[in-house]
């Protein structure tokens, strides 16, 4: 019986692991003339990225500006393209050069429009640790520029209900100057109902929607129109407490609603001479288009967005991608209510199990101590391991930014070793079904505690802990009340299956965002998932 259960568990975990790879899968590049074409986008990037074109590279910088102006004019007409130039003295804030933005307008019946933003200057100086400067700007921000030119090509001759504004900003890399000056143009900003900023912090992989405006309930409902959406409110929550800024920051500062996109994979290429045309990824470019074009399509053809304040929200949403085109979102208020419902169900269950002498209060407390102890050890180990990897690679260490190639395999091995270590430790120390149940209750309790806390202080992260807790409480109730073993198999199997499907893409995405420096956070999150998955698996193995 144990062998058969083992096969079932292994098969379920394997299928969940394989399916999790599809969550961040990017689409096949298209060359179709009637839709977004990564092939056409690449042709623009080949011109944009011929040479470094930072604000300090005056001739190359001007060449790129004129190329964008001519290409945009060809798509939407010369009369619809405006140069928005600002003297450096008017810009202020230490700006050492004149700022030259470009604005393209595709007029609709209503002046209210959607604003797409990307910057055309490349990185021209050494920045944070490990950055080499002298980037060719193929991805950062060639991906954004090319996406906007494709939108111009697709909508330049269409009859629209609402307008499209295409803003090509200058001086982003050195101070967000172009975006700041554009945001100060009241006559223009009074027409903008929604902003989409397009960035790149790598060269490949999924294009994440990684940031939203505040009170984003209507923003997220709008984002649901995207095809192959990839986004986690965990990312938007974390980004709000980090010092990073993009052009989007300037539009948030004046209260505009919108979203921010970027690829994250390939940080080693970011802000270096490796960010060149030879290294672009057509599939990633196509993923930008697959998400952004449907949003533009929805906005320009639906009269309800003509109301300039349509996206003024009342609450923030919690959201995550569970599987391709399966995007889940709900309000932070619902999340808080659900957390307390789960808490009530967990407390009731624990009381029932203690009264029926199936578990003990002391045993459950001990197991909770084991979980906290394991989390502490994992955090310390992750911190030391990330520092050691940076030391071996002779690169500066940071909790969120270690620019070093080849860290994927060491990170994977470390996480694999931690998983095996926790598995064998729990298998040895917690052998009886009662102890396994106590351990699952402990792991569920810790996850639920974090879900409740983050629900109040960082709501976007709460789902990460709430989903495992919810599934585990359901499985524990099924174990307690149901006598049919196949139903228990399903209940515990769902804990394992959904947890793996949710955890692996998130852990990988966090690795891309935080780099190997974030091993502390990665291992803590891993252990939190293991604290419900491992006892669920072990209880499933004991079923007759």
| Extents of the domains making up the chain | 2-22+330-541, 38-323
SS3 401: coil
> Sorting pLDDT into bands at 50, 70 and 90, what band is 544?
low
State the pTM of this model: 0.94
> Sorting pLDDT into bands at 50, 70 and 90, what band is 197?
very high
pLDDT of residue 449: 97
Mean pLDDT, residues 525-531 taken together: 97
d(CA 27, CA 229) in angstroms, rounded, equals 11
d(CA 256, CA 488) in angstroms, rounded, equals 49
Is 323 in contact with 23 (CB distance < 8 Å)?
yes
pLDDT of residue 43: 98
**What is the signed CA dihedral for 390, 396, 402, 403, rounded to 10 degrees?**
-100
> Sorting pLDDT into bands at 50, 70 and 90, what band is 540?
confident
Establish how many alpha carbons lie within 13 A of residue 205's alpha carbon, considering only the half-sphere containing its beta carbon.
Answer: 23
> Roughly how many angstroms between the first and final C-alpha of the chain, as a whole number?
6
Angle (CA) 202-273-95 rounded to 5° is 85
Reported in sequence order, the residue ranges of 107-203 that DSSP labels E, i.e. its strands, are 110-119, 162-169, 192-198
Q: DSSP of 452-494, one letter per residue?
A: HHHHHH-GGGTHHHHHHHHHHHHHHHHHHH---HHHHHHHHHH
113-139 burial, b for 16+ CB within 10 Å, e for fewer? bbbbbbbbbbbbeeeeebbbbbbbbbb
Task: Give residue-wise pLDDT tens across range 250-308.
Answer: 999 999 999 999 999 999 899 999 999 999 999 999 999 999 999 999 999 999 999 99
SS3 169: strand
Q: DSSP of 375-399, one letter per residue?
A: HHHHHHHHHHHHHHHHHHHT----S
Work out the burial of residue 163: count CB atoms within 10 Å of its CB; fewer than 13 is exposed, 13-18 middle, 19 or more buried.
buried
DSSP 291: H
Is 204 in contact with 266 (CB distance < 8 Å)?
yes
Is 328 in contact with 234 (CB distance < 8 Å)?
no
Can you read off the two tokens belonging to residue 458? 């960082």
DSSP 232: B
Cβ count within 10 A of residue 249: 16
Enter the CATH code of domain 38-323: 3.40.630.10
Is 1 a residue whose pLDDT tops 60? Answer: no
The helix (run of H) or strand (run of E) holding residue 449 is: helix 433-457
SS3 209: strand
Mean pLDDT, residues 502-508 taken together: 96
pLDDT of residue 518: 93
191-230 burial, b for 16+ CB within 10 Å, e for fewer? bbbbbbbbbbbbbbbbbbbbbbbeebbbbbebbeebbbbb
Mean pLDDT, residues 517-539 taken together: 95
d(CA 134, CA 389) in angstroms, rounded, equals 27
Mean pLDDT, residues 534-542 taken together: 89
Q: 3-state DSSP helix/strand/coil percent for the chain, to nearest 5?
A: 60, 15, 30
Peptide bond into 525 cis (omega under 30): no
Residues sharing a CB contact under 8 Å with residue 39, sequence separation 6 or more, in sequence order: 29, 30, 31, 282
Establish how many alpha carbons lie within 13 A of residue 182's alpha carbon, considering only the half-sphere containing its beta carbon.
Answer: 36
Work out the burial of residue 407: count CB atoms within 10 Å of its CB; fewer than 13 is exposed, 13-18 middle, 19 or more buried.
buried
pLDDT of residue 94: 86
Is 242 a residue whose pLDDT tops 80? Answer: no
Longest dimension (CA), the chain: 81
Mean pLDDT, residues 334-341 taken together: 97
d(CA 191, CA 37) in angstroms, rounded, equals 29
d(CA 449, CA 468) in angstroms, rounded, equals 12
Beta bridge partners of 331: 317
> Sorting pLDDT into bands at 50, 70 and 90, what band is 434?
confident
Mean pLDDT, residues 221-250 taken together: 89
Task: Give residue-wise pLDDT tens across range 27-73.
Answer: 999 999 999 999 999 999 999 999 999 999 999 999 999 999 999 99
d(CA 113, CA 307) in angstroms, rounded, equals 10
Angle in degrees, 0-180, between the axes of helices 463-481 and 433-457, rounded to the nearest 10: 150
Task: Give residue-wise pLDDT tens across range 159-178.
Answer: 999 999 999 999 999 999 99
> What is the number of H-type helices and E-type strands within the chain?
19, 9
Task: Give residue-wise pLDDT tens across range 344-353.
Answer: 999 999 999 9
Is 210 a residue whose pLDDT tops 90? Answer: yes
Mean pLDDT, residues 121-126 taken together: 87
């Amino acid at each position: 019986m144990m062998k058969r259960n083992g096969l079932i568990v292994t098969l379920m975990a394997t299928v969940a692991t394989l399916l999790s790879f599809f969550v961040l899968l990017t689409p096949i590049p298209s060359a179709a003339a009637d839709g977004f074409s990564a092939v056409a986008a690449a042709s623009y990037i080949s011109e944009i990225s011929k040479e470094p074109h930072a604000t300090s590279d005056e001739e190359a910088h001007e060449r790129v500006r004129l190329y964008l102006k001519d290409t945009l004019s060809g798509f939407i007409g010369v009369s619809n393209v405006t140069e928005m130039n600002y003297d450096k003295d008017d810009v202020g804030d230490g700006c050492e050069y004149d700022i030259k933005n470009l604005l393209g307008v595709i007029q609709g019946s209503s002046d209210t429009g959607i604003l797409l933003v990307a910057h055309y200057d490349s990185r021209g100086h050494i920045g944070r640790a490990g950055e080499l400067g002298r980037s060719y700007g193929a991805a950062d921000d060639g991906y954004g520029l090319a996406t906007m030119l494709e939108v111009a090509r697709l909508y330049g001759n269409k009859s629209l209900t609402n307008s499209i504004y295409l803003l090509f900003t200058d001086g982003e890399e050195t101070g967000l100057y172009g975006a700041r000056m554009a945001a100060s143009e009241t006559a223009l900003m009074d027409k903008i109902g929604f902003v989409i900023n397009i960035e790149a912090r790598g060269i490949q992989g999924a294009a994440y929607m990684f940031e939203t405006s505040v009170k984003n309930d209507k923003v997220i409902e709008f984002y649901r129109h995207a095809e192959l959406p990839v986004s986690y409110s965990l990312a938007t929550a974390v980004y709000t407490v980090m010092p990073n800024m993009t052009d989007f920051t300037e539009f948030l500062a004046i209260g505009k609603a919108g979203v921010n996109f970027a690829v994250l994979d390939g940080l080693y290429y970011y802000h270096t001479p490796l960010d060149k045309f030879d290294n672009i990824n057509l599939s990633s470019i196509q993923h930008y288009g697959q998400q952004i074009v449907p949003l533009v399509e929805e906005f320009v053809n639906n009269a309800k967005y003509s109301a300039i304040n349509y996206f003024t929200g009342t609450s923030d949403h919690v959201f995550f991608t569970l599987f391709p085109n399966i995007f889940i979102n709900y309000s932070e208020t619902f999340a808080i209510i659900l957390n307390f419902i789960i808490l009530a169900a967990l407390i009731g269950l624990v009381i029932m199990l203690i009264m029926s002498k199936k578990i003990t209060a002391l045993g459950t407390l001990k197991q909770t101590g084991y979980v906290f102890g394991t989390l502490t050890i994992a955090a310390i180990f992750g911190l030391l391991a990330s520092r050691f990897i940076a030391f071996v690679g002779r690169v500066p260490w940071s909790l969120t930014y270690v620019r070093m190639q080849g860290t994927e395999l060491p990170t994977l091995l470390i996480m694999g070793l931690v998983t095996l270590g926790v598995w064998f430790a729990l298998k040895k120390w917690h052998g009886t079904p009662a102890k396994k149940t106590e351990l699952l209750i402990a792991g569920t309790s810790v996850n639920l505690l974090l879900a409740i806390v983050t629900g109040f202080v960082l709501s976007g992260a709460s789902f990460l802990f709430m989903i495992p807790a919810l599934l585990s409480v359901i499985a524990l109730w099924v174990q307690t009340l149901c006598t049919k073993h196949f139903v228990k198999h399903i209940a515990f199997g769902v804990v394992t299956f959904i947890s793996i499907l949710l955890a692996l893409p998130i852990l990988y995405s966090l690795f891309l965002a935080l780099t190997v420096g974030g091993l502390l956070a990665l291992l803590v999150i891993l252990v939190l998932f293991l604290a419900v998955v491992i006892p669920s698996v072990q209880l499933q193995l004991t079923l007759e």
